[in-house]
Amino acid sequence: PPRKRVNTILLAAVVAVVVGGTGTGAFFAYQSFNARRTAGAETPAPTSPPAEPTEDPNTPLEPDPINTEILNSEKTDPGKMTVADAFTKKVTLAGATFVRVKTDVTTKCDEAAAGRFANTLAKQDCRQVLRATYVDSKRKYAVTTGIAVLPTMQSAVEVDRTKNLGSNLWFRGLPGGAGSGAERVGIAGGYAAGLVWGRYIVFSYATFSDGHTPTAKEKKLGKVSGAFRDETAKVVERRITG
């Protein structure tokens, strides 16, 4: 049969894990993303000439694969991000509607992280860290999500290797102002999720607004964190899809 063109963007499946303590969260794995063509299996040589393949001219062809390797370096993926690029004022995820209550963009990346992890962000010439904190309409959840922008994929991977979740060496939660419902996101236990895609580290950290560490039965928070990670990853995806 005629070959079809396939458009594939691979997304990470990273399971959120509960973390107690000072609220810097847990980061589990990274994946480097590249579009791939599907390869068909080899077929035996025919014993007689095959019929000429035909294709319905009205059947639309799928688009060409997207080359995600441009995300691996600022030379092929130039330009800074802004709050407007990265974070909407309101978003509905995991069955709840969240409103943005705080944002922060800094080129002093170490100020958005802790310990050796923060030092490595600076050492690897981190360009900027963007963070936003959201609270749901019932003020049950407070979530910090964000993106760290590095010059290359290699530098992003090097930063990721220095995280130590047991010692809270990761990104810091971004507390909201008094009365926002996000005052404790920087000190509460919660769930976090993240990935490395090209030169970007995408992260999310979900807590309960009242600051209590989730119990083993309170698993919805993990879905909230994963949903924010996936939503924030779309910001990176738009760098290649427009």
pLDDT in tens, 40-90: 333 344 444 444 544 555 655 555 566 789 999 999 999 889 999 999 999
> Going by C-beta distance under 8 Å and a sequence separation of 6 or more, which residues neighbour residue 128?
80, 81, 105, 106, 107, 109, 148, 149
pLDDT, tens digit (0-9, with 9 covering 90-100), for 128-169:
999 999 999 999 999 999 999 999 999 999 999 998 866 778
Residue among 220, 192, 188, 200 at smallest CA distance from 151: 200
Dist CA 242 CA 228 (whole Å): 20
- Contact, 154 vs 221, CB < 8 A? no
